[in-house]
């Protein structure tokens, strides 16, 4: 509860700065997501009200950009690159292996709240294809067989 209050206090600081500036919508949503980890309805309404942008439009922007999330994400965000280079090198089977291991679909979060599985379109590391990033750390030249060990490492880290 206290933590939640603190988040809204930080949001208020951002909204104060951009009050009435409709053109800053994407920027403000981005900052709000940094604070909350995702964009719950209440936060979208606060942003709409402060910037003077209709809530329908805010929701339209939030759902258009894959960068924005409307559900809380896991502690680790796994992103499988499905860009051309990674794809031809077998990223598809890596994605399948992850789905099977985590028991979630693309965009989903595991029940324990540890992992969120996503796809990306080229992270600019084609030389390392196929690539998986986890919270920004790049893991290159992956195979489906590498997945269980990789996930185990993060599970251990979380326990520690």
Partner 1 sequence: MVTLTIDEQKVTVPEGTSVLEAAWKIGIDIPSLCYLKGLNEVGTCRVCVVEIEGSKTLQASCVYPVAEGLVVRTNTPRVLKARRTALQLLLSEHPQDCLSCYRNMNCELQALAHRFNILEIPFRGEKREPPNDEKSVAVMREPAKCIRCRRCIAVCSKVQQAFVYSAVHRGFDSMVSPAFGLSLDDVACITCGQCANVCPTAAIHEPDNTKEVWEALHDPEKWVVVQVAPSIRVTLGEEFGLQIGSVVTGQLVAALRRLGFDKVFDTDFTADLTIMEEGHEFLEKLKSGGPFPHLSSCSPGWVKYCEHFYPEMLEHVSTVKSPHSMFGALAKTYHAEKIGVDPARMVVVSVMPCTAKKYEINRPEMTDSGFKDVDVVITTRELARMIREAGLDFINLPEEEFDEPLGIASGAGLIFGATGGVLEAALRTIYELETGKEFPLPQYEQSLRGMDGLKEAEVEMPQGLIRVGIAHGTGNAKQILEKIKAGEKYHFVEIMGCPGGCVGGGGQPILSFRRGWEGSMDYRMDRADSLYKAEQELPYRKSHENPEIKKIYREFLGHPLSEISHKLLHTSYTARSRYPLSKTKV
Task: Give the interface with partner 1 as residue ranges (CB under 8 A).
Answer: 8, 11-12, 15, 41-42, 44-46, 48-50, 54-60, 63-64, 66
Query: Between residues 45 and 88, which has the closer beta carbon with respect to partner 1?
Result: 45
- The least distance separating partner 1 from the CB of residue 121, rounded to whole angstroms, comes to 12
Q: Which two tokens stand for residue 21?
A: 């500036």
Query: Between residues 44 and 110, which has the closer beta carbon with respect to partner 1?
Result: 44
- The least distance separating partner 1 from the CB of residue 15, rounded to whole angstroms, comes to 6
Query: Between residues 53 and 150, which has the closer beta carbon with respect to partner 1?
Result: 53
Q: Is 108 helix (H, G, I), strand (E, B) or coil?
A: coil
Query: Between residues 52 and 148, which has the closer beta carbon with respect to partner 1?
Result: 52
Torsion over CA: 141, 144, 145, 149 (sign): positive
Question: How long is the chain?
Answer: 160
Q: Which helix (H) or strand (E) holds 6?
A: helix 2-17
- The least distance separating partner 1 from the CB of residue 141, rounded to whole angstroms, comes to 30
Q: How many Å is the maximal CA-CA distance in the chain?
A: 52
How buried is residue 94: exposed, middle or buried, by Cβ count under 10 Å (0-12/13-18/19+)?
buried
- The least distance separating partner 1 from the CB of residue 91, rounded to whole angstroms, comes to 19
């Amino acid at each position: 509860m206290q933590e939640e209050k603190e988040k809204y206090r930080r949001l208020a600081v951002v909204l104060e700065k951009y009050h009435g500036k409709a053109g800053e919508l994407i920027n403000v949503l981005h900052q709000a997501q940094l604070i909350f980890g995702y964009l719950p309805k209440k936060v979208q309404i606060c942003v709409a009200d402060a910037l003077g942008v209709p809530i329908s439009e805010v929701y339209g922007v939030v759902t258009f950009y894959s960068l924005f999330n409307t559900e809380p994400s896991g502690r680790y965000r796994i992103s499988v690159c499905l860009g051309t280079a990674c794809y031809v090198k077998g990223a598809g089977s890596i994605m399948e292996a992850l789905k099977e291991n985590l028991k979630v679909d693309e965009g989903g979060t595991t029940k324990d709240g540890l992992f969120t599985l996503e796809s990306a379109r080229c992270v600019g590391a084609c030389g390392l294809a196929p690539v998986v990033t986890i919270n920004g750390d790049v893991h290159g030249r992956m195979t489906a067989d590498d997945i269980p060990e990789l996930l185990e490492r993060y599970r251990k880290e979380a326990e520690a």
